[in-house]
Chains A and B, each alone.
Chain A
Amino acid sequence: MPLTMPEEILLLMLDDESGRLQERAAPSGDYALAGAVIAELALAGRIDTDTQRLYVTDGTPTGDALQDAALAKIIAAGTESHDSRYWIEAIAAEAEPMRDALFDRLVARGILNRVEGRFLWVFPERRYPVIDDREEREVKARIMGVLFRDEIPDPRDCLLIGLCRAAGLFALLLSSQELDRVQSRIDQVADLEELNRALTAAIREIYAQIARFAPMV
């Protein structure tokens, strides 16, 4: 069974050495995780978005506990109309229990080991997450193919690239030269998806808040 985007993004945010989440990924990592859950709901046809709002199109549970919890939250809002950014922030409030549930899943699937409160790869050789031999190469190859070639991405790739951007992962996955080269391509692909644009807006706001309250040196 292929990994869902929340699982993929959590694995990509995991620092191989410490077995903990990348420092760099916080605080936007929570938003990226929420974005991943919403992205799966969108691709499953449960919700849809436009520039003004995010709405339920099919309330049937997907069978994935995290997605269904998020869907229930959106359904519970009833006739109130909110945009993607609102829901990214609302679902990100549950980031910690979501991460715990995802880590449990990845341990149960034999991808990670839980060791003294840290999460370490079962097969830790590579610098980048080993999802499983085939899947890891496939995900990375797909993302790099989209970034370095002129291929038209498919929707799932657009969403995943936007999530990686939101979590600050490209600085880790690419050298600074490569990053310079493909930054505009990353943005072009990611911004095709309204959800990714909403993520960017939400994250920009966190950093603006942080800057506002940063002590004057």
Chain B
Amino acid sequence: MDITESAVGDVKVATLKGRLDTATAAAAETRIIAMLEGGAKVVADLAEVHYVSSAGLRVLLKAAKQAKAAGGAFALAAPQPPVREVLEISGFDKILGVHASAAAAAAALA
């Protein structure tokens, strides 16, 4: 999976592209956890992610857990409708902020 890093103010943005599933989970997790180091605030921009499996959700859960443990923050942005549906069915949207855009997410975490 393609992951590019950028920033909005002091909030880091990880833009993910493609599928978030077993094949891509380990790399995505390593990357996001590294970005969260030192209590950083990180937004995962999902605008170009068309599929998130249970393994993919576990990456998001671990990121949320790590963010809390490190004193930082983690939120999601711009999920595509099928992904948004999965986040709602599972209740992930209750434990992680899900925002319409990376900018909105960054503003929420700032």
Give A residues with C-beta under 8 Å from B: 42, 45, 48-51, 57-58, 151-155, 158, 188, 191-195, 197
Contacts and interface: CB of A to CB of B under 8 A. Distances in A.
A58 B23 CA distance: 9
Q: Which interface class (under 10, 10 to 19, 20 to 34, 35 or more) fits B?
A: 20 to 34
A158 B64 CA distance: 14
Contacts of B64: 152
5 contacts: A48-B22, A51-B86, A151-B65, A192-B91, A193-B54
Interface in B22-39: 22-23, 25
Q: Say what secondary structure dominates the interface of chain B.
A: helix
B61 A153 contact: yes
Interface in B68-91: 68, 86, 89-91
Given A58-B22, A153-B65, A48 B91 contact: no
A155 B22 CA distance: 14
Contacts, number: 59
Contact of A48 (B55, B61, B65, B94): B55
B7 interface: no
B32 to A, nearest CB: 14
A50 B57 CA distance: 10
A152 B70 CA distance: 13
A194 B54 contact: yes
A155 B86 contact: no
B53 interface: yes
B59 to A, nearest CB: 9
A151 B65 CA distance: 8
Given A48-B53, A155-B61, A195-B54, A188 B91 contact: yes
B54 A57 contact: no
B42 to A, nearest CB: 15
A49 B58 CA distance: 11
